[in-house]
Structure 1
Amino acid sequence: MNPDHDWWYDEAAGPLVRPYAMTRGRTRANTPNLNLVTQVRAAAPPTDPGSLSPEHLQILEICTAPLSVAEVAAYLDVPLVVAKVLLGDLIERGHIAAGALFQTSDINDTTFLQAVLDGIRRI
C-alpha cells in the first residue's frame, strides 16, 4: 500500500472516499466518445490548481505520456466510469487532450480485443 494514501484507505473497508463522491454523483462524462482505448495526455497545465480535485491533479501527473482511459482508471484504482467523468472534466477545461488510437469500426479482431481484456484484468 502506498503510505501517501493511508489517510483515505482502510484495509477492511476500502477507500474512505467512495468513487462516485469523486464525481459528485455523476455517472456520465461530459465528453462523449471516451472508450477503453482512447488515448489521453496532459495538454495545458492548470492556471488555478486549487480549483481541481486531488484526483484531477493525479490524472494530470500521470498523463505526461499518453495513456489509455483504462490505464488511467487502473492507476487511480477507480471504476472506468469514474475515470471517464474525471477525464471529461479535464478535457472540457483544456487540460487533457484525447484522441482515439483506434476507430471503433477498425476493431474487428476478437484476438486483439481478448488481449486488451486480458491486459486490463492483469492490472
Structure 2
Amino acid sequence: MADARDGMWLDDAAGRLVRPYTVSDGRTRPSAHFDLLTLVMATGTLPQKYLGPEHDQVLGLCGGPMSVAEVAAHVRLPAVVTKVLLSDLVACGALTTRAPRPVEAASPTDRDLLEAVLHGLRKRL
C-alpha cells in the first residue's frame, strides 16, 4: 500500500502514476544553479500562487538545511526534476540556498593518507 502522504499518485504495482517530467511541466533545466550538495532551506515566505503538490512536499521537507540530493531522494524524483522544483521555490522567495564549502583535498600522494587507507583495508580483510 502507498504512503498516505503520497495519496493517489503512487500505486504499489504501477509505481508513480504521474511521470516525473509532468511535475516540472516538461522543463529539464532549472532557472537557478544547483549542485547535488547545495543546501536548501525554507525562508518562511509562502509562494504567492499555488505551484503544485510536489512543490508543497519539497517546501515541507526544507524546514532545516537539506541537500538537493536528500530532497530528490525524499520526493522520489530525478535530481534534475527536483532542481526545477527547487528553482521555482527559490524564484518566489520560499527557499534560500547555500553552496557547499570547498574542502581542501589531500594530495593524492600523501603518504599518511595512503597508509591510513591501507591500514583500514587490512582491518576489514
**TM bracket (short chain):** 0.7 to 0.9
Q: Which amino acid aligns with 2:97?
A: A
Corresponding pairs, count: 106
Show the 5 A alignment for 1:31-42.
Answer: 31-32=32-33, 34-42=34-42
Find the structure with the greater CA-based Rg: 2
Counterpart secondary structure, 1:45: coil
Counterpart residue number, 2:58: 59
Q: Does 1:101 align with 2:107?
A: no
Q: Which amino acid aligns with 1:65?
A: G
Counterpart residue number, 1:114: none
Q: Bigger CA drift: 20-29 or 3-12?
A: 3-12
Q: Bigger CA drift: 35-44 or 4-13?
A: 4-13
Q: Does 1:4 align with 2:5?
A: yes
Q: What is the Cα deviation at residue 6 of structure 1?
A: 3.9
The 1:70/1:51 distance shift into structure 2, 3 A limit, reads: same
The 1:38/1:47 distance shift into structure 2, 3 A limit, reads: closer
Calculate the TM-score normalised by the size of structure 2.
0.76
The 1:47/1:71 distance shift into structure 2, 3 A limit, reads: closer
| Superimposed CA distance per residue, residues 19-63 of structure 1 (whole angstroms, 9 cap, x where no aligned partner) | 10000000010002x011000000132154x52211111111110
Runs of 4+ with deviation above 3 angstroms: 106-110
Give the Cα separation in 2 of the matches to 1:37 and 1:54.
Answer: 24
The 1:108/1:80 distance shift into structure 2, 3 A limit, reads: farther
| Superimposed CA distance per residue, residues 61-82 of structure 1 (whole angstroms, 9 cap, x where no aligned partner) | 1100000000000110111001
CA RMSD of aligned residues (A): 1.9
The gaps in structure 2 that reach 5 residues or longer are: 109-125
The gaps in structure 1 that reach 5 residues or longer are: 111-123
Give the Cα separation in 2 of the matches to 1:75 and 1:38.
Answer: 16
Give the Cα separation in 2 of the matches to 1:3 and 1:60.
Answer: 18
Tell me the percent identity: 42
